[in-house]
Every structure is written in structure tokens, then in C-alpha cells.
Amino acid sequence: MATTENQVESTGLVGWIDRRFPMTSTWKAHLSEYYAPKNFNFWYFFGSLALLVLVNQIVTGIFLTMNYKPDSQLAFASVEYIMREVPWGWLIRYMHSTGASMFFVVVYLHMFRGLMYGSYRKPRELVWIFGCAIFLCLMAEAFFGYLLPWGQMSYWGAQVIVNLFSAIPFVGPDLSLWIRGDYVVSDITLNRFFAFHVIAIPLVLLGLVFVHIVALHEVGSNNPDGIEIKAKKDPAGKPLDGIPFHPFYSVHDFFGVCVFLIVFAAIIFFAPEMGGYFLEANNFIPANPLQTPPEIAPVWYFTAFYAMLRATTDPFKIVLMIIVGLLGLLALARARGKWRIGLPVLAALLIVFMAVTEAKFWGVVVMGSAVISLFFLPWLDRSPVKSIRYRPFFHKVFYGIFVLAFLTLAFLGTKPPSPAATLIAQICALIYFAFFLGMPFWTRLGTFKQPPERVRFKPH
């Protein structure tokens, strides 16, 4: 039987591979002939850095798993064994723990860049949605991994978070029991979380990263000016304002990687615990189910959402009910058609439901909504321009207030609760959600600058 081979330009070993596997064409499509805007700035380092940290977490995680014991009687001792007896075990453990925090640092900065330059706008809605799904997956991965050292804070943190599910009406207690596999966090829970942390979530995460990059390369990268570079091409069909990703941005990102690794190494060797923010002091104490720590708080990258959860008290629930009622009245006055009746009725039913359910449940709803809101950004933003560079000044003020509110929540989440802190957290939570709920309205207002036809670029 005659066989056919793909016709390729390359020869030798590369040609032999190309006739059987699209190696060169993939290289060209995603690197050497993938045209990216030539005006990338500092904020565009963090995507490649996130990929670097992901590789670090996978590699160090593999070596840690070789010596870790997912057993409630041995887990804490196995971590100490890694630190004290395994050659370079302390380095691998600190690379993994520091990498977890640095992962969230670069992801938060990566998302902030997308927020500033409108990287969630058409045609990049799927790129943004996949990115938000990655963020959600990272939160799950961090939570499942947090229990594994089996320290005091790990144990009680997992106990508190899983118990939150019991606040869900009707199914909550059974759901929390199903998640734990026991009536308290135990050996069964540890094994489940280990399986999720080591196998299940990483597989989902890698899949999401893959489709995120594929979607990005399909529609092309955004830029600080928010201009589509594919709109203007030369006779050869190449974007006038684009340059090949390799070698220009591969070298550009290599410089960013070098600077990042210097900072990363400095933290590992001189401040791996980062004053208790990366590794808490209570986690150097074996888990004791009979002794609750004086203060239970999550790792720093969850503290903003934890502060919202903690701020949802009964008085705050009344405030939320009033806000829902006002939104219902607004819908009655402004909505048209079936929405004019449907939305007020829905608001009334929601108020009744809020009245008969406890604040703990609505704290969970608020915390979850704070993350889910990010998914809807492509449809909430109605601005005629993408980039913050060409928006009115008060838009920049709103973005600044939003970031300040989030950072304040993150700070308050690390501190013990107090009446003043709770009040500030409630105000910041309202600001956080007002930013999203009001976005369809305030993003249309003001005088917008006209974006240039070509990207602004200063050779250097």
C-alpha cells in the first residue's frame, strides 16, 4: 500500500519530524511568526512569570510528594523529615511554599493589567473567562494544599472553611460531611485533599492554561493602547504594529525572569516565612483537634475574600436587604417589558429569603460572588474605549478606589476582628461590589480621548 507524507520545507531530522508531527509549524504559529504588539510595557511580564511559577510548583511538588506521607499520624513528621533529613529538602519545600505566594502575586498583577487595559473586551472574552477559571482553580489548589502540612493553622483553617458549607440551607450539613468524609477534618479528609492537590486540580489547571494560551493566540494579544494591531497590515499580511514574539519578547521576558528569580531567591534564602505571611508560625505546631488557635486566618492571598465573609454580620445583612429593595424599586421605575414586573418580584423574594436565612450563609454568598463577579466583566464594561489611557479622569479614580478597597480588605483579613475593622471591611465590600454593579452605567459617562490609529511606541 502506498503511503503519503506531509510536504514540509525543512530537511534532515527536523524534516523527518515535521512530516510526522507539526513541530516547526507550531513553533512558527506560537513563537517566531506570532506577532505581538510592539508597545508592551512592564505589566506584560507577569503572564510569562505565571507560567514559570507554575512549572516551579509542578517540579518541586513532584519531589515533595516523593517523601510526603498523606497520613494524619505521619504528615507533619514527614514535612519535618523533608526539611531536616532529605538532601536539599528545605530548599525544595521553601521553593514550593514561596512559589505558592509568588504565583498569586503575579496572577493578581496579571489580572490588574487586564483590568487597566481592557483585555477582557471583545474579541478576548474567552481569554478572560479562561483566566478567571484559572484563578478559581488556583484558589482550590491552594486550599487543598494548605491542609497537607497538618499544622495547627492548616487543620483549623480547613475545618472552618469546610464548615462554611454547612450554612447552605437544607443541604449544607450533608454537603460539608460529604466534603470532609468524616464529622471532623481527619485522615480521610487529608487523603482526599492530597489527591485533589496532587492530581485532580493540576490536571484541570494545565488544561485551562492550555486553552487560555490557545484562545489568546487565536485573537492576538491586547496592548496598553487597546488597539487591534491586525487592523493595519503590510502587503505581506504582517501587522504594522506587531513584532515576532521570538526573539523580541522571548528575550524581553527572559530579562523579567532574571529579575524575578533574584527576588524569588532572596525570599527563599533570607525570608522564606515572610514574617508569618507565607508560612504561619502556628503551622510549625502539629495539628491538635482539641485545641483551637486563638485566631484563625487564611493565607494572605485569601484574606480580602475572608474579610468580606467575616464582615457579613446580621446588621450588614439588613443593609444588603435595603440595597436589594432599592434595586427592585429602581427596576420598577426604569425597566421595561416583562423585566418591569419580574425584577421587583425577584427582589422581594430575595429579601424574604435573606430574612429567614442566617448571615453566615450570606457571608459565603458574598465571598463567592466577589470571585464570580470577575467573569462578567466583558459584558459589564460599556466604555467606548478599552484602555484606561483614554478614559476620563474619574474612571481612573474609580479604579484606584476599587484597588484601595481590595487592598484594605486584604489587610483587614490578616488582623483580629474588631468593631472598627468590621465597619471598614463592610464599607470596602460595598465599594467592591458597587464597582461591578455600577459598571454598566459609569463606564459610559465622561469625555473619552480618541485612541490613536497606530500604537504609541518609543524605540529603546
**What is the enclosing helix (H) or strand (E) of 35?**
strand 35-37
pLDDT of amino acid 340: 82
Q: What are 116's three cell numbers?
A: 487597566
Sign of the Cα pseudo-torsion (447, 450, 455, 459, in order): negative
Q: Say what the pLDDT of residue 293 is.
A: 87
Three cell numbers, residue 348: 422581594
CATH of domain 23-280: 1.20.810.10
**pLDDT number for residue 427:** 97
pLDDT at 400: 97
Q: Residue 343: what pLDDT?
A: 85
Q: What is the DSSP string of 332-390?
A: HHH--TTHHHHHHHHHHHHHHHHHHS-HHHHHHHHHHHHHHGGGGHHHH---S-SSGGG
CA atoms of 215 and 125, how far apart (whole Å) = 9
Distance CA 299, CA 146 (A): 9
CA atoms within 13 A on the CB side of 376: 13
- Quick check: 126 and 375 in contact, CB under 8 A? no
Q: Establish whether 395 is an annotated binding residue.
A: no
Instruction: Answer yes or no: is 246 a known binding residue.
Output: no
- What whole-number distance in Å separates Cα of residue 43 and Cα of residue 217? 18
Q: Please give the Cα distance from 319 to 304 (Å, whole number).
A: 20
Q: In a structure prediction context, what are the per-residue pLDDT tens digits for the chain, which is 460 residues long?
A: 455 666 667 778 888 888 888 888 888 888 888 899 999 999 999 999 999 999 999 999 999 999 999 999 999 999 999 999 999 999 999 999 999 999 999 999 999 999 999 999 999 999 999 999 999 999 999 999 999 999 999 999 999 899 988 888 888 899 999 999 989 999 999 999 999 999 999 999 999 999 999 999 999 999 999 999 888 888 888 888 899 999 989 999 999 999 999 999 999 999 999 998 999 989 999 999 988 888 888 899 999 999 999 999 999 999 999 999 998 888 888 878 777 888 888 999 999 999 999 999 999 999 999 999 999 999 999 999 999 999 999 999 999 999 999 999 999 999 999 999 999 999 999 999 999 999 999 999 999 999 988 888 777 6
Binding site annotation covers 197?
A: yes
Query: Reduced to 3 states, what is the DSSP secondary structure of residue 233?
Result: strand
pLDDT of residue 147: 94
Instruction: Record the pTM.
Output: 0.94
Separation of alpha carbons 179 and 160, rounded Å: 13
110 assigned binding-site residue: yes
Burial letters for 98-114: b for 16+ Cβ neighbours within 10 Å, e otherwise? bbbbbbbbbbbbbbebb
CATH 1.20.810.10 maps onto the chain at: 23-280
In 147-242, alpha helices (H): 152-164, 172-180, 187-195, 201-219
Q: How far is CA 142 from CA 93, 101, 193, 280, 301, in A?
A: 15, 9, 10, 15, 10
| Cα–Cα dist 224/119, whole Å | 9
Quote the CA–CA distance of 84 and 91 in Å, as a whole number: 11
